[in-house]
Structure 1
Amino acid sequence: MLRAAIVAMLVAMLPSLARAQSCSFSVTNINFGLIDTLSATAATATATLNINCTGGVLRILVCPHIGAGSGGATSAAARQMVSGANSLNYQLYSDPGMSVVWGSYAWPYASRPPVIALPVLIGNASGTATIYGRVTGGQSTVPPGTYLSTFSGSQLEFRYQNDLLGNSCNTGFGFTAPSPTFTVNATVPANCLVATQNIDFGPKGVLDANVDATGQVSVTCTPSTAYTVSLNGGTTGGTPTNRKMSKGAERVTYGLYKDLARTQPWGDAGTPGSTVAGTGTGAAQPLTVYGRVPPQTTPSAGVYTDTVVVTITY
């Protein structure tokens, strides 16, 4: 009878012991730095959740519910940072493999926060947890800018409870601590990529008439990024219409042009008006390079080549 009475008294005390606990939280900011949205490679960063509890006499379970953030979310896989009307997708995870989304019972997606168990201590207890962040690669349609999402107020519900009162973070059960504030940010810089297709004039026995061929410069720039494309004078440093293909000391003169009629030479900044300008869209923009070998004295037979450097200025 005495043992039963003691057990009954201890059980009756559990709610009051839990109420005596008090926990506080802080979270460091997540800064992804510079994001190359033209790359398919993801960018990652982490934050640290710091937990400090007092008055604990049994193990404390913590449920740090994290919502969508001020940038919102379009799916369980895509929270968003925003810059004006533009958005950049990212996500927060509870595991280093970044397969388990860190969520909240209060948002419309199925993910929940991890259950964090603090050690059994009488008095104070503390711990940390890592929040893993990833910006997905290949977001080429995102314009340059500084992107931000803020977590504060209703976006966070950091709850705690005695482990005898439950062991799940699927609901809003537990005592609520004052919400910390943290931010997630990234910077998308202007960027351009270039790819080329060679010009092959093919075989020609006697250079007594125009020989025409085309190549291509493909430019991919972040949206709204203004750029110019210039072509240098080749290995021998010729002018746009007087470049030289070489075989040893022998030469074949040729020119590169912006138009099908071969009336607009394509050169570099040293020849005013000879570059090609454009504005990025995030998609590849193909630019045709029109080549012409004019009539000239025919050198000895062989393969004649030249290398032209393509420069994108943005």
Structure 2
Amino acid sequence: MTARRLICLMGPLFLAAGAAQAQTCSATVAGGGITFNNVDPIALSAVTAQSTLSVTCNWGLLAAPTVRLCVNLGLGNSSTSVNPRRMQQGTANTLQYLVRTGSAAGLVLGSTETNNQPLNFQMTWPGGGVNTLTQTFTLYGEILANQPAVPVTNAATTVYTETFSSASARLTYQGYALPVLDPGTCPVLLASSSPIGFTATANVTKNCTISATPMAFPQGSTLGTALNATSSLTLRCSNTLPYAIALSGGGSNAVTARRMSRTANGVTTTVDYQLYLDAARSQIWGDGTGGTLRHTANGTGHPAQVTVYGQVPAQATPVPGDYSDTITATILF
């Protein structure tokens, strides 16, 4: 008789946290990123925008029910930090911005690779025959305030961008057989990874603002000699933006023959005067017609002041009283 023995040799069985990972997860951002429209740097205010991040997980037959996920947004092609980030136009023009999660004042989204906090969350298999789950988050973008020197190019709306590689914008995730095995931190070892397409875009618009102080000529009992006065225009235009300032003809509708007027008892009397670009009062400041000139320059993004030189020439003295005119200063850009 021959005896046969069946010997089963069993060694220790180790189940690594992610060894049975059969779920797959991916993330997308609506529109491919965040777009900031109508960014006006000389307004000095922050500009906000939002986008939606969708994360979807699919559980297979052997999938661990609990998944730890982290959305990483590292450095794009023009940033050196995540707070703030930088969009770029050309080789030197930059625009600072942030990307947050949770709220407009929430977590500044970062990456484990840059030692900044990614978006860290958990998803659990829904069960009941449902094997797919999607969770959405709002991404909050902010162009930082007080960047007046951000330039426009070619006197037109200028697009600033930052793009992210698949290594910089990515979803990492790892499954755990039991919820208690989930450490709550972003997975590094054994983690799966899925790229997230992401681009930040800003449309920077050109703009100018202008204000003026009144011009008050000195009082005089006669107009036998010329009277001089000045006023100031304060303006701010987008950096590098060419602009021109035109002054209207006032009540006379004639830039070469301006007149102040006074009406009393139905009778209107006038006083001739003129406005000039220069202290010598030789260059008439008008709208470019009739031989008049306009003030022209390029914006810097910062406030600038321009002096308007006025003169009442010697002339026959009219009826005493207060004479006035209203001039419209128009900035063209």
Q: Offset at 1:273?
A: 4.9
Decide which structure has the larger Cα Rg and report it.
2
- Whether the aligned pair in 1 keeps the contact of 2:74 and 2:82 (CA below 8 Å) is no
Aligned to 1:166: 183
What is the number of equivalent residue pairs in this alignment?
300
Question: Does 1:153 find its partner at 2:169?
Answer: no
Residue of structure 1 equivalent to 2:273: 254
What are the superposed Cα offsets for residues 154-174 of structure 1, whole Å, 9 maximum, x if unpaired?
2123111245332123x6356
Could you say if the C-alpha distance between residues 307 and 224 of structure 1 is closer, same or farther in structure 2, counting changes exceeding 3 Å? same
TM-fit CA distance, 1:38: 0.5
2:50 is equivalent to residue 46 of structure 1: yes
> In 1, are the aligned partners of 2:18 and 2:174 still within 8 Å (CA)?
no
Identity of aligned residues (%): 30
CA distance in 2, matches of 1:114, 1:46: 16
Per-residue displacement from partner, 1:103-147 (whole Å, max 9, x unpaired)? 112115xx4123222244233222111111011223111111210
8 Å contact 2:99–2:142 — kept in the other structure? yes
Paired with 2:145 and 2:289, the residues of 1 have a C-alpha distance of: 37
Match of 1:276 in 2: 295
TM-score (norm 2): 0.83
Q: 1:238 aligns with which of 223, 247, 254?
A: 254
| Amino acid in the other structure paired with 1:82 | Q
Shift of 1:304: 1.4
Q: Compared with structure 1, are the counterparts of its residues 35 and 173 closer, same or farther at alpha carbon in structure 2 (3 Å cutoff)?
A: farther
**Residues 1:116 and 2:121 are matched in the alignment:** yes
Give distance in 2, aligned partners of 1:136 and 1:230.
33
Contact 2:224–2:315 (8 Å) recurs in 1? yes
Residue 185 of structure 1, CA deviation: 0.4
| Residue number in structure 2 paired with 1:227 | 243
1:187 and 1:97, CA in 2 relative to 1: closer, same or farther beyond 3 A?
Answer: closer
Matches within 5 A, 1:49-198: 49-55=53-59, 56-73=63-80, 75-84=81-90, 85-107=92-114, 111-122=116-127, 123-144=131-152, 145-162=158-175, 163=179, 164-169=181-186, 172=188, 175-198=191-214
Q: In the superposition, relative to structure 1, how do residues 212 and 49 fare at CA in structure 2: closer, same or farther (>3 Å)? A: same
Partner of 2:155: none
- Taking structure 1 as reference, are residues 23 and 197 closer, same or farther at Cα in structure 2, changes over 3 Å only? same
Name the counterpart of 1:293: 312
Aligned CA distance change for structure 1 residues 126 and 181 (closer, same or farther; 3 Å): same
- State the match for 1:4 in structure 2: none
Distance 2:76 2:28 in 1: 16
Contact 2:255 2:287 (C-alpha < 8 Å) held by counterparts: no
Local SS of the residue matching 1:177? strand
1:25 to 6, 27, 39: 27
1:5 alignment partner in structure 2: none
Q: Secondary structure at the match of 1:20?
A: coil
Consecutive unaligned residues of structure 2, counting only runs of 5 or more, are 1-11, 153-157
Q: Quote how far apart the aligned CAs of 1:289 are.
A: 0.5
- 8 Å CA contact 2:68–2:182 kept in 1: the answer is no
